[in-house]
Amino acid sequence: MYTSKMKGFKNTPELMYRYLPKIKLIYIVRDPLDRIVSQWRHYRGRHPDCADFTELTRNRHMRRLILGCSMYFQRISKFREYYPDEQIHCMTFEDLLNNPENSLKKTLKFLGTEPKIVQMLDHRGKIPRINEAGAKGREYIDKPIWGDKLKSKVLRRIKPDAEQMLAYMGKPLDYWNL
């Protein structure tokens, strides 16, 4: 939530820099459409009265909370006003899941630490997954289905930003299915 557009996090980059100017930041992003579904499910699991998934673009609170967090480049740009790119490591959730050893090696190298990858992975060599929908006291919420109209509206909002983020990370623009 540190990169959230929510009012309470508005000054996060400035405050972090004021007290921690030398830290290294790790920013993990995922396919924005998948992230939107995941965040809505988590939020709905704690707030059953929240707007329906189909209302994402019409409900102001949902636009700020759910869609706003998927504007990755916009959000990381606020941190880049204070921190140089050498202090920011961006990676994708997909890379972390699909190639955890390589992703963790890159991250630990960025942090300047000795890579002890084996201790971070489960017995299958994968990242342990413990934050599934319905975890941490949230009600389990079924995955909503993207309607064509809603998906089109959401993509009009987030696709340019997602493409900027992919370019910033050196990923092909078709890395995510946008």
25-72 pLDDT per residue, tens: 999 999 999 999 999 998 999 899 999 999 989 988 888 888 988 999
Query: Could you say which DSSP state residue 146 is in?
Result: P
- For residues 33-47, b (16+ Cβ closer than 10 Å) or e, as one string? bebbbbbbbbbbbee
pLDDT reported for residue 127: 78
Q: How far apart are CA 30 and CA 36, in angstroms?
A: 10
pLDDT reported for residue 61: 86
* All domains of the chain in start order, with CATH: 7-169 (3.40.50.300)
Residues of the chain with pLDDT under 50: none
pLDDT reported for residue 44: 92
pLDDT reported for residue 11: 82
Dihedral sign for Cα atoms in the order 97, 112, 173, 133: positive
pLDDT reported for residue 7: 66
